[in-house]
Amino acid sequence: MVKSSSLEPLLPHNQTSHSRSSKTSIAVLISLFGLLTLLSPSPLSILTSAFSHPSSSSELDSVALRGSCGQAKPILPPSDQHNISSVWEYKDEIVKWHQGAIKIPTEVFDEMGEPGEDKRWDIFADFHKYLEKAYPLVHKHLQRTVVDTTALVYEWVGTDESLKPLFLTAHQDVVPVLPDTVYQWEQPPFGAVYDGTYIWGRGSNDDKSGLTAVMASIELLLSTSDFKPRRTIILGFGSDEEAGGQRGAPAIRDWLLEKYGADSFSLIVDEGSGMQTVWGQTFGLPAVAEKGKLNLNLTVSTLGGHSSVPPPHTNIGLTARLITALEDNPNPIELEKKSPIWGFLQCAAGYAADIPESLKESTVKSIKGDKKAFKELPETFVKAGLGESRTGPGQGNGVQSLLSTTQAVDIINGGVKVNALPEVVTTIVNYRIDVSSSVQALQDRIFSILQSKAEELSLSISGFGHSWSPPSGTFVRGSISLTPAFEEGLDPAPISPTDLGSAAWRLLAGTSRGVYASRPEVSKDGKIVDLSDEEGLVMAPFMSTGNTDTRRYWDFTNNIYRWRYFPDEDGQGAHTINERISADALVEFVRFYQALILVVDASNEV
């Protein structure tokens, strides 16, 4: 089976011809035909076969396209060093470790006071004690540092200081469980019930699964092998990722920068997207970029009074019109060639047998330089979709969200009494900024849209370096203020490499493919099985529509991969009711982290 390489030409290209005369070429052809006549009863059939297409143009396109989506060779650590499949012998322990983590409700909220003053932080001390009890070898052999009271750093010091550390991250905190939704849970949200298939509870998926996988992988390495790392391994567990990572990850970053400096890590792996079967092909989809973020505080101020003599539009009515103006002008869907989604589409066109023909055709044309096809590709992708819906029933179009700056009006506050006209109404709008845009471009666009509506409603408006007021002498109904909510905006993340020239990508992708090709379903002894392209895991770039703690770690390396090695369908209910994770998927997650630690440690390339 021929394996594609990223160095192969994507499409057929002209070859330099040998310098020969036409007469010589004709003579050679006549001689060859004569020889064929002697050797075959039907030389024309041979010529027909030789010069006809061996398969459809679509199949040929697929073969050529695979050159633009080169796949790293599957790799595993040598079994004589450590058999990573031995983790399956400890499935019961892994499940119990995870259950214990889920039972501790490390909930965080958007607005919290200082640790020591706000009692809601106290639960993290209980969680730290639990980790010490559950993972005694980790706490014996790794150096633990508590930063900013609640965040954790572990260092497994290597023997070779010339090798850049490997940084594995996760977060301890979970999204709060709304009391009004508890009755909708099939299992208690902090009961950590294991039903034989799934482990249930808040944080079981997001993101205590990542924390358990990392800690369990190292605990089992220490208990079942004599492995001692050459390369320092650092673990960083934030404590408020679900509240925007305002404290934990920044504290970890600052502590590590002071000790190790910038550009000091070989590779960072954090929570992110996982494995998805799309159009008949299983893809591993690490998020190699993240959207930017802006939370808009839209505040409208007007004069009040008794509700018995209202104006045509109260402050809430005015705010409603401003919100409608924003929602009537969604950000356009776009695709740039630097976008990871463009990389994914190329991989899908090359490997996914069931990709919609219209989408494959547009992708192939775009690769060949058809500018019109590339411009129309986003709309084609939205219409084609990503197979089965991967969004919740209350959400919008997932593909459209990947291709645009999204806008969600999430919070509104206004009015204090039923017979008093509201004087101040505040709205919070959440934006996730596409890689084709920036905070400044988004802010300018928001102001432009709202200024037009402000002129219509006789409201002054200011914010983001702009201002406008009605002409002097004109009645001013009130004012609009635009500011960032909670924190300043964040531009889209730098895009991490995904070509085979990148050692970091080869190690991550190769290890992922090796673990997939040695999973129990296909391998009896835990060794890599030679799978066809259709059976194997195809690694492709993807993008996260949300943000992770990695946004605080950009200074350490360009090699940042937001990647959870398990099928997305095996982890469900993140941020909503009935959150759960497959126990078998969690065990494989542990196996992956053992493999990655050992493979990266053995390499001198990063």
Q: Are 229 and 220 in contact (CB under 8 A)?
A: no
CB 274 within 8 A of CB 564: yes
Angle at 75 between CA 74 and CA 79, to 5 degrees: 135
Task: Return the structure tokens found at 117.
Answer: 């003053």
Residue carrying the six token digits 């989408």: 359
Polymer length of the chain = 606
Q: What angle do CA 420, 426, 432 make, to 5 degrees?
A: 160
Whole-angstrom Cα distance, residue 490 to residue 487? 9
211 contacts 140 by C-beta, under 8 angstroms? no
Under 8 Å between Cβ of 154 and 142: yes
Q: How far apart are CA 486 and CA 233, in angstroms?
A: 33
Spatial separation of the C-alpha atoms in residues 488 and 485, rounded to whole Å: 7
Measured between its terminal Cα atoms, the distance across the chain in Å is: 30
Nearest to 152 by CA among 175, 174, 132, 180: 132
From the list 61, 148, 173, 207, the catalytic residue is 173
Torsion sign across C-alpha atoms 391, 393, 394, 400:
positive
Handedness of CA 184, 187, 191, 194 (dihedral sign): negative
Sheet with strand 198-200: strands edge to edge: 198-200, 580-582, 571-572
What's the CA gap between 271 and 551, in Å, rounded? Answer: 12
Say how far apart CA 538 and CA 443 lie, in whole Å. 38
- Catalytic residue, candidates 241, 242, 491, 601: 241
**Cα angle value 107/127/180 (rounded, 5°):** 25
CA 225/CA 498 separation, integer angstroms = 32
Q: How far apart are CA 167 and CA 266, in angstroms?
A: 8
Instruction: Count other Cβ atoms within 10 Å, centred on residue 126.
Output: 12
CA dist 440 and 423 (Å) reads: 30
Active site residue 173: yes
Q: Is there a catalytic annotation at residue 499?
A: no
Q: In the chain, what is the greatest distance between 2 CA atoms, to the nearest angstrom? A: 107
Quick one: CA torsion of 65, 67, 71, 72, rounded to 10 degrees? -170
Cis? peptide before 206, omega within 30° of 0: no
Are the CB atoms for 271 and 562 separated by under 8 Å? yes
The b/e string for 232-241 (b: 16+ C-beta within 10 A; e otherwise) is bbbbbbbbbb
Contact 111, 411 (CB under 8 A): no
Neighbours of 88 (CB within 10 A): 15
SS3 (DSSP) at 361: helix
Are 239 and 108 in contact by the 8 Å Cβ rule? The answer is yes
Q: How many CA atoms lie within 13 A of 409 on its CB side?
A: 16
Which residues are tagged catalytic?
A: 173, 241
